[in-house]
Structure formats: C-alpha cells, structure tokens
C-alpha cells in the first residue's frame, strides 16, 4: 500500500516538475509569469525584511534583454535564451526605488532611489484604500448630509492631481464622489463641489474642500444595463453564425503567434497593455520571413479636460503612466467583445504586495471576416467574339461572364479576393472610459492599429436643465438635465520600433509639391510631384500633420527592390489632430510629446515612455521632447517612430448615457517592400460547408 502511495506521489511530483519545466521554456520577450512575480516579491522582501518598512510594488515588468542580445538569440533560437530579469518600481519609506532583479540567479542587480520629479503608477490596491476614506471622514459625512443624500449610496473615485508649477509635492491624489442610488452609471451622477485630497504615503485625507452645492443629476435615463431598460426596444438586429470547422487558421506557441504570412510575439505589460514584438512577414517570392516591427505598444495616453474651474482644472490624465493600460485591462466577453471564432489568452500582473493577479481573457485573437474586399477588378474592355466562344469561356473560367450591352458584346472578367485579417484585441477600462485596442494584421502586409473609445463620459453636475438657461461658459455640452459633458482630448502616443527588413533604417519625407508649368510644351499649368527628403537628425523628423501633404516612409536604405526602390513601410495617419493648449500651460509641458504627430529617435532601451518613467505629477523633464532635443543622428540607424493619434472630443447627446464606439487609428503599409502585390496569388478562402446541413 505504502509503495503504491509512493509511486502515486512520485508520478504526481514528476508531473509537477515536468509542468514547471515546460512552463519555464520562455521566449525572451515573454511577460513575467505568476511564479516569476512571486520570486521577485520574495527576493525584494528578503532584502527589506523590516516589517515596519511598508514596501509596495508600483510596477513589476519584464526588463527585456538588450536588442542586440535578442537579435543574436533570434539568429539561433535553439541557443540558451538570455537571462530573465524583472524591472521593479517599489515605494519604500516614502521613496521610489528602481530595482532590477535577475530571476535566474535570484539576485538584485541594481537598486537605486529615484530623486527626480513625479511618481510611479498608482496601484489598484492603494486606490481602493483611498476611496474608502471619505466614508469615515466627519466633514465629508456632514457635506453629504447637508445635500440630503444617503452616505451608503455615495461612491468615490480616484483622480490624479497633475502638476501646476509646484516646486515640491507629496504623493497625493484627489477624490471625487458620485451617487449610485438607482443606477449602475455612477459617473453620470457626480456629487459636484467637494474635493478631497489623499496623501498616499500616509493613506489619509489631508485636504478637504466643500465649495458649492449643485443638484445631483437624476438617475432616470442613466442606465445602460439591458435588464433595466423599458420597451420600446430597438433597433432589432439579426444574429449571424461564424463557424470555422477546421479551427482557427493561426497557431499560438506560448506567446508566439503565426498566421497566414505573419508571425509575431504578443506580450503584456501592466503599464502598456499589449506589446507586439518581432512582427515579420513571409515573402512568397524571396521564400523567407522579413522583419517589419521589432516592438510596438501604446507608450502614453494624454487626456486633458478643458474646464479651468476649481473642481476640474487638474483633470489632465496620463492614463497609461498613471493608471496603467495593462492594469486596467478587463476580461473580454466571448461572443460580444470578440467574435465566435476568437481564442482568448489570460494576462498577469503583480498587485501592490507583489502577489500575481490574473486577468482572465485579457486578450482575444481572431480571424476577422468583416465582409471587406482585399482587392478586386471587373474588366469590361475586352471585346468578346461569338456566342459559342462565350459559352466555352463561362464553363471553363467559372468567374468570367459575358454581358451584352446595346448589341455590343464584351467579355466581363471579375476577380475578387475577400479580405481576412488577424486581430489581437484588448480592452482597457480606465475608470469611466473603455478603450478598445486592436492590432490588425493583413495578408497584404499592412498593420492597422485601431483604437475605439466607448464607455461613460466624464461629466459635471450643473444647475441647468436647458441650454436657454446657460449664460456663462460651462466648458462643455449639456447632455441631459444637470449634466455637462466636458470638452477634452485623447492623445495616444504609439512607440513603433520599425525594423524594415533589418534594423538600420531611415525616415523619408516624400513631400508632394505643386510644380508650375512655365514653358509652353504642355497645355497644363501645373502638376504635383514627389520631392523626397531623408531625415538626417531628430529635428528633421518632427512632423505636424495637416500643414503640408507628405507621405512618411521608414525605409531600409541598404535594401532595394528588383527595380531599385528602397524597401519601406509607410505611416498612413488617421487624423490630423494636434493639441490646442498653450505650449506653456502646465499640462501641455507634461504632455509636450503630443506637440508633434510624429517624432523619430535613435533606438535607446531606456526611452520607452513618452511622458517619462514617473508620470504622476511629472514636470515634463523626462519626455520624448527632452530626449529629442539632443538632435541625434537618425539616418541609416536603428530608429524608433513615435506616432500620436488624437481626438478632440466635443461631447454630444448620443454619447449619453453610454457612448457608441468612436473609432480611430492608423496603418503601417508596405511601400516598395515587396516586388509586387503580395496577395496577388492568394486564393479566396475555402467555402465552409455546415456539417449537418444539406441545403
Ligand atoms: Cu472622450
């Protein structure tokens, strides 16, 4: 009996060891695993054992190996992968520590105290603790009573305070509170006029201001839950089925994804959210994969509100660096957030005490059959000959038909390729707003980076119930009775380390310029042509959209197509939106990386976060703007393209009580990268036959 038990134990143990071993076979760019988070926690806690030093982990993420190390590993992926390291930002004794932990040797490689401006990412735990404080704070209880509200129906939320010229500041955040009586849409019912300031190191309320009483908007009309809606319902939408009887056309090996002609690595970071690395595309002619993007992610998101009054002026958020896009990732709902053919992946981050937290279904990956056309042509110009030929042609060529137009007979050729793409999706719900982040890979070589804005607007309570009553500046749109949707912007800055067919690239501005015809050889008076300019240094590559027509291409000056063009990838922007705040306004000093839509920098591992590593209450001294001032050489170098996509948001009534998705984004598109159309020889996808259906 005992020996049987031993055998079972042995088998269980071996299986456990085996599963550990197999789960430790990392790609060097894999995000940290739960056991690695635990290891980091153990190592750091062991270094600071004193229990009265209340250590909190504000950020733990992969300290990715240097690029040359990854590239050399890639050339021989069977070789030993580079050592795994974690980068940690911890708060300890009111100081921010930057710690690097070597996970293979369990050793702290470096630990330095940060003395600069700004503070790290806010953890969910400290925000949860902060919002509990008002419930026991006597002046607040009094203010709520004064308004005739029920304290148990009041919920507070956290808001970063920004920076407005203070020389020194404590690590604080502000709380604003909302009334949830009769609705799940708490953001629609602000208890306006009260501001609380919480010191996060002390975890106590240090400032309180009850400045004015404004009617709390009513609950009626604020619900978004289906179960709470009353008839009439509509518009009615019919369902559709999406089946892939042969399964998905993509493969996921760990976090490496391959599909059609693409392969890439999908990582997750508590701050950035999704990180796409090592995206390369298979060239059918050259019979090999060719590099496109070494690494891409959303580096920062700047959301300044346009209300300068006491309760609102500071609302100038940096959603990625203050709240964390990854930390804000929510579990995706199958069949709703993603289609039926989607595959879901979980993600992990570390909570403030360092223990791993799982976000189930944080990503979905799916083949997108959106009903779009990849390419097509109908040819009407080829004359037909006689009817018997026509019949032969129709039978043999299947897609070719013949039409008779006014007795003139033509052979009509139609070729169509339906578009299919691969989408990687994550949704970050940063408080009231929901951001849908899509990376879409197309067989044609394009990468479309989509961003969808939905969720609840940040609104302000006012006394007005009709626009006729408004005689002052209210800084927004009256959306419903007592509710103003305040004007604001969303600026998303993407980090795009393009490696077009190799890591040494150049940035080319193809200016479209009007040429006047001055001689009399042509009846034309003008035309436009392309005048190319290669950016030599960083200052040549700062672009504001909308000023003049230009095509922006990242080329590999060392690689040419058969006919001699430099291989490249072009940036096709979505909109020409730029900040409207004065350059010397404090929020814009911190968000100055949005002053240009495009920046190009030489690759530097430490330059990741456009608004700086410590963004909360930052003073704008560690931003993309400051790095770029060095005006480094960028021609035929390993370069990084930074692109800001902006939205000026003038709220409208349709955005209330929940906002239909507003979509934006941009495209990275091959430009003389291939020798000809890379999807010329793509066959239409196989027809799918329903398993038990004869008709
Ligand atoms: Cu908005």
Going from the Cα of 199 to the center of ligand 1, the distance in angstroms, rounded, reads 28
Does the annotation count 569 as an active-site position?
no
Contacts of 284 (CB under 8 A, 6+ apart): 261, 678, 681
- Quick one: pLDDT at residue 521? 87
Contacts of 228 (CB under 8 A, 6+ apart): 184
- Quick one: pLDDT at residue 693? 61
Mean pLDDT of 199-209: 97
* Alpha carbon distance 506, 570 (integer Å): 12
Grouping H, G, I as helix, E, B as strand and the rest as coil, residue 390 is helix
pLDDT tens per residue across span 321-338 = 999 999 999 999 999 999
How confident is the prediction for the chain on average, in pLDDT? 92
- Quick one: pLDDT at residue 390? 43
Quote the radius of gyration of the chain (alpha carbons, Å). 29
Going from the Cα of 171 to the center of ligand 1, the distance in angstroms, rounded, reads 27
Half-sphere exposure of 14 (CA within 13 A, CB side): 6
Are 326 and 300 spatial neighbours (Cβ–Cβ below 8 Å)?
A: no
Name the token pair of 106. Answer: 């369990």
* φ/ψ bin of 679: left (φ > 0), alpha (ψ from -120 to 50), beta (otherwise): alpha
Residue 684 carries which DSSP code? P
CA angle 619, 622, 628 (to 5 degrees): 125
- Burial grade of 231 (CB within 10 A; 0-12, 13-18, 19 or more): exposed
Going from the Cα of 159 to the center of ligand 1, the distance in angstroms, rounded, reads 16
pLDDT band (50, 70, 90) for residue 409:
low
Q: What helix, strand, coil percent values describe the chain, rounded to 5?
A: 15, 40, 45
Going from the Cα of 575 to the center of ligand 1, the distance in angstroms, rounded, reads 15
- Quick one: pLDDT at residue 420? 96
Going from the Cα of 362 to the center of ligand 1, the distance in angstroms, rounded, reads 23
CATH of 124-224, one of 3.10.450.40, 3.30.428.10, 3.40.50.1970, 3.40.309.10: 3.10.450.40
Judge whether residue 9 has pLDDT over 70.
no
Going from the Cα of 645 to the center of ligand 1, the distance in angstroms, rounded, reads 13
- Quick one: pLDDT at residue 488? 98
Q: What is the CATH number of domain 495-695?
A: 2.70.98.20
Mean pLDDT of 205-212: 96
Of 187, 348, 433, 569, the active-site residue reads 433
* Alpha carbon distance 296, 624 (integer Å): 16
* Alpha carbon distance 159, 171 (integer Å): 12
pLDDT tens per residue across span 161-194 = 999 999 988 999 999 999 999 999 999 999 999 9
- Quick one: pLDDT at residue 686? 79
Going from the Cα of 310 to the center of ligand 1, the distance in angstroms, rounded, reads 21
Judge whether residue 119 has pLDDT over 70.
yes
Going from the Cα of 20 to the center of ligand 1, the distance in angstroms, rounded, reads 45
CATH 3.10.450.40 region(s) of the chain?
Answer: 124-224
pLDDT tens per residue across span 289-323 = 999 999 999 999 999 999 999 999 999 999 999 99
Name the token pair of 546. Answer: 């909308």
CA angle 320, 450, 572 (to 5 degrees): 110
Judge whether residue 399 has pLDDT over 50.
no
Going from the Cα of 297 to the center of ligand 1, the distance in angstroms, rounded, reads 21
Going from the Cα of 453 to the center of ligand 1, the distance in angstroms, rounded, reads 7
pLDDT band (50, 70, 90) for residue 51:
low
Of 307, 319, 499, 638, the active-site residue reads 319
Judge whether residue 557 has pLDDT over 90.
yes
* Alpha carbon distance 551, 573 (integer Å): 10
- Burial grade of 229 (CB within 10 A; 0-12, 13-18, 19 or more): exposed
HEC secondary structure over 162-173: CCCCCCCCCCEE
Mean pLDDT of 492-511: 98
pLDDT tens per residue across span 73-118 = 999 988 999 999 999 999 999 999 999 999 999 999 999 999 999 9
Judge whether residue 692 has pLDDT over 90.
no
Going from the Cα of 134 to the center of ligand 1, the distance in angstroms, rounded, reads 28
Q: Which one has a higher pLDDT value, 393 or 506?
A: 506
pLDDT tens per residue across span 417-442 = 999 999 999 999 999 999 999 999 99
Does the annotation count 419 as an active-site position?
no
Going from the Cα of 268 to the center of ligand 1, the distance in angstroms, rounded, reads 25
Going from the Cα of 435 to the center of ligand 1, the distance in angstroms, rounded, reads 10
Predicted TM-score (pTM) of this structure: 0.92
- Quick one: pLDDT at residue 7? 41
CATH 2.70.98.20 region(s) of the chain?
Answer: 495-695
Q: What string of DSSP letters covers 44-72?
A: HHHHS--TTS--EEEEEEE-PPPHHHHHH
- Quick one: pLDDT at residue 2? 43
Going from the Cα of 684 to the center of ligand 1, the distance in angstroms, rounded, reads 39
* Alpha carbon distance 600, 57 (integer Å): 32
Judge whether residue 24 has pLDDT over 80.
no
Dihedral (Cα; 390, 394, 395, 398), 10-degree rounding: 160
- Quick one: pLDDT at residue 575? 87
Are 165 and 117 spatial neighbours (Cβ–Cβ below 8 Å)?
A: no
Grouping H, G, I as helix, E, B as strand and the rest as coil, residue 643 is strand
Judge whether residue 465 has pLDDT over 60.
yes
* Alpha carbon distance 622, 617 (integer Å): 12
* Alpha carbon distance 242, 289 (integer Å): 31
Residue 695 carries which DSSP code? -
Going from the Cα of 56 to the center of ligand 1, the distance in angstroms, rounded, reads 32
Helix or strand (DSSP H, E) at 26: none
Going from the Cα of 385 to the center of ligand 1, the distance in angstroms, rounded, reads 60
């Amino acid at each position: 009996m005992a020996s049987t038990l031993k055998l079972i134990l042995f088998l269980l143990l071996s299986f456990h060891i085996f599963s550990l071993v197999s789960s430790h076979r990392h790609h060097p760019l894999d995000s940290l695993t739960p056991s690695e988070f635990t290891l980091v926690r153990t190592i750091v806690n062991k270094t600071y054992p004193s229990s009265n030093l209340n250590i909190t982990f504000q950020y733990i993420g992969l300290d990715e190996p240097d690029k040359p190390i990854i590239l050399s590993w890639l050339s021989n992926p069977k070789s030993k992968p580079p050592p795994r390291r974690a980068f940690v930002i911890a708060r300890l004794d009111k100081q921010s520590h930057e710690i690097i932990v070597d996970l293979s040797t369990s050793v702290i490689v470096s630990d330095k105290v940060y003395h600069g401006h700004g503070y790290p990412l806010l953890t969910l735990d400290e925000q949860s603790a902060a919002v509990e404080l008002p419930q026991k704070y006597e002046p607040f209880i009094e203010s709520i009573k004064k308004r005739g509200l029920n304290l148990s129906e009041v919920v507070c939320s956290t808001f970063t305070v920004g920076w407005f010229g203070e020389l020194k500041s404590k690590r604080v955040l502000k709380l604003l509170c909302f009334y949830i009586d009769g609705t799940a849409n708490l953001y629609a019912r602000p208890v306006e006029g009260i501001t609380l300031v919480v010191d996060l190191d002390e975890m106590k309320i240090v400032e309180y201001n009850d400045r004015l009483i404004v009617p709390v908007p009513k609950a009626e009309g604020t619900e978004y839950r289906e179960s709470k809606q009353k008839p009439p319902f509509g518009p009615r939408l019919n369902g559709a089925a999406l089946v892939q009887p042969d399964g998905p056309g993509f493969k996921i090996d760990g976090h490496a994804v391959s599909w059609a002609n693409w392969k890439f690595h999908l990582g997750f970071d508590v701050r950035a959210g999704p990180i796409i690395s090592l995206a390369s595309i298979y060239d059918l002619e050259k019979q090999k994969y060719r590099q496109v993007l070494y690494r891409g992610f959303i580096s920062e998101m700047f959301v300044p509100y346009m209300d300068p009054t006491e309760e609102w002026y500071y609302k100038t958020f940096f959603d990625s660096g203050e709240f964390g896009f990854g930390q804000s990732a929510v579990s995706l709902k199958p069949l709703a957030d993603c289609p039926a053919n989607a595959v879901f992946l979980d993600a992990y981050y570390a909570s403030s005490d360092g223990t791993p937290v799982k976000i189930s279904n944080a990503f979905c990956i799916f083949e997108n059959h959106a009903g779009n056309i990849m390419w097509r042509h109908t040819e009407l110009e080829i004359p037909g000959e006689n009817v018997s030929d026509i019949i032969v042609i129709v039978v043999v060529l299947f897609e070719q038909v013949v039409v008779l137009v006014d007795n003139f007979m033509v052979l009509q050729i139609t070729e169509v390729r339906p578009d299919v793409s691969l989408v990687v999706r994550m949704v970050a719900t940063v408080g009231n707003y929901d951001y849908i982040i899509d990376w879409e890979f197309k067989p044609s070589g394009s990468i479309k980076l989509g961003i969808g804005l939905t969720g609840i607007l940040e609104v302000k309570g006012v006394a007005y119930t009709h626009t006729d009553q408004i005689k002052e500046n209210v800084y927004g749109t009256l959306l419903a009775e007592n509710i103003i949707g305040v004007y604001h912007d969303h600026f998303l800055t993407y980090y795009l380390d393009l490696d077009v067919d190799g890591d040494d690239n150049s940035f080319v501005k193809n200016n479209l310029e009007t040429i006047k015809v001055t001689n009399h050889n042509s009846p034309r008076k003008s035309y436009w042509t392309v005048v190319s300019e290669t950016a030599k240094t960083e200052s040549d590559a700062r672009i504001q959209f909308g000023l003049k027509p230009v095509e922006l291409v990242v080329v590999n000056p060392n690689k040419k197509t058969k006919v001699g063009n430099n291989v490249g990838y072009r940036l096709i922007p979505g909109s020409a939106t730029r900040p409207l705040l004065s350059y010397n306004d404090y929020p814009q000093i911190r968000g100055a990386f949005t002053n240009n839509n495009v920046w190009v920098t030489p690759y530097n591992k430490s330059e990741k976060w456009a608004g700086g590593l410590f963004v909360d209450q930052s003073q704008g001294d560690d931003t993309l703007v400051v790095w770029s001032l060095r005006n480094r050489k960028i021609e035929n170098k390993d370069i990084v393209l930074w692109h800001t996509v902006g939205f000026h948001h003038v709220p409208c009534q349709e955005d209330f009580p929940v906002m239909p998705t507003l979509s934006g984004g941009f495209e990275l598109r091959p430009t003389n990268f291939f020798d000809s159309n890379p999807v010329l020889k793509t066959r239409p996808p196989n027809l799918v036959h329903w398993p038990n259906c004869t008709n």
